Amino acid sequence: MTALVCTKPGFFEYRETDMPILEDGQVLLKIRRIGICGTDLHAFEGTQPYFSYPRILGHELAAEVVHTAAIYRAGDEVTIIPYFNCGNCIACNSGKPNCCVSMQVAGVHTDGGMREYFAVPATAIVTGQGLSLDQLALAEPLAIGAHAIRRANVQPGEHVLVIGAGPIGLATMAFAKIAGATVIAADVNAQRLRFCDEQLGIPHIVNVSAQDINGRLKEITHNNMPSVVIDATGNLKAINGGFSYIAHGGRYVLVGLQKGDIGFSHPEFHKREATLMSSRNATREDFDHVIQCIQQQLVKPEAFITHRAAFGEVKEQFSSWLQPGNAVIKAMVELY
């Protein structure tokens, strides 16, 4: 079978590899769709934490079951929860397998699904439940957004500021809106902010590069500031700046990830009695919520797809998806 390997930053290579050998409790999948996420892009750039090369990327997957000894049938269309956890550590035993001490994320810590066939634990399978292949491939990034909103315990009527209108930020905005919040989208990219307005119906847009963001936030929140601030940029300057936008008693949730140390004013943070938390990956509960919301047409993942490529075209096209001028929100790779 063919796999696409990121051999080092900036380089891909198609390689012929052996078919996976199924271990006990595994399912053999034929990959049908691969969503390209920020993790893949950052790995290609060489800026992704927790990463080593060579690596087969890809964890936003839609697939067809080929062979299994488990409850699934050949031909079933599925997606996967790509965070392979140990099941025994303090996090797993506390119902938080998404931050397992020995986490192995497909396409990051271990080889992912950018290949024709992929063997995964049966416990990672999420059944299709009538969703299309494109919808299934986008369940994972949507689940990350859903998890961030659940982690922040967003309540109806709250003002939620999401900084960063990339795919994860857009997913977070969508689920904040579903939770009943008044959503504020902030980014430096005018095209992505237009997408927030036109495709997600976000009522409040802040172009960080063109406005006094504090003044605009006070205007929207009637001088209260957002009770929930969520960073989905992974940009150190943006993360550090986000501390100044939190309302007194508010929560700051870091979804985006970068390599450096964050810094903020302790007195300013302390006087707010603010809460700082991270949001990592997602759980099956989040995937189930995403699927239900897609079924109810509360979120339409197909709208996120701006670019498509066949598997054999990825090596040549991948670098173009990093270029801002190409206005990529979500690239989808197709295998038949």
Residues 321 and 259 in one domain: no
Mark whether 73 and 133 lie in a shared domain. yes
Q: Are residues 313 and 267 in the same domain?
A: no
Residue 205 belongs to a domain:
yes
The structure's pTM equals 0.95
What integer pLDDT is reported at residue 71 of this predicted model? 77
CA-based torsion, 147, 149, 155, 157: positive or negative = negative
Look at residue 70 in the predicted model and tell me its pLDDT. 65
How many domains does the structure of the chain reveal?
Answer: 2
Same domain (yes/no): 256, 223: yes
Q: Is residue 288 part of a domain?
A: no
One domain for residues 270 and 325: no
Domain that holds residue 173: 145-278
Q: Specify whether 66 is located in the same domain as 90.
A: yes
Residue of 310, 308, 306 lying closest to 335 (CA atoms): 310
Same-domain pairing of 156 and 129: no
Residue 320: give its domain's CATH number. 3.90.180.10
In-domain check, residue 287: no
Residue 262 lies in a domain: yes
Shared-domain flag, residues 162 and 190: yes
Provide the H-helix boundaries in the chain: 38-45, 90-93, 133-137, 139-152, 167-178, 190-200, 213-220, 236-242, 266-271, 284-295, 314-317
180 backbone φψ class: left, alpha, beta (φ>0; ψ -120 to 50):
left
The strand pairing partners of 140, in sequence order, are none
Task: For residues 46 and 24, state if they share a domain.
Answer: yes
Question: pLDDT tens across 80-130, in order?
Answer: 999 999 999 999 999 999 999 999 999 999 999 999 999 999 999 999 999
Residue 64 and residue 162 in one domain: no
Contact 111, 55 (CB under 8 A): yes
* Nearest residue to 167 (alpha-carbon basis) of 47, 30, 34, 306: 306
Q: Distances in Å between the alpha carbon of 26 and those of 66, 68, 119, 213?
A: 11, 7, 6, 49
pLDDT value at residue 69: 66
Regarding whether 265 and 149 lie in a shared domain, the answer is yes
Whether residues 87 and 197 share a domain: the answer is no
Which residues in the chain land under pLDDT 70?
69-70
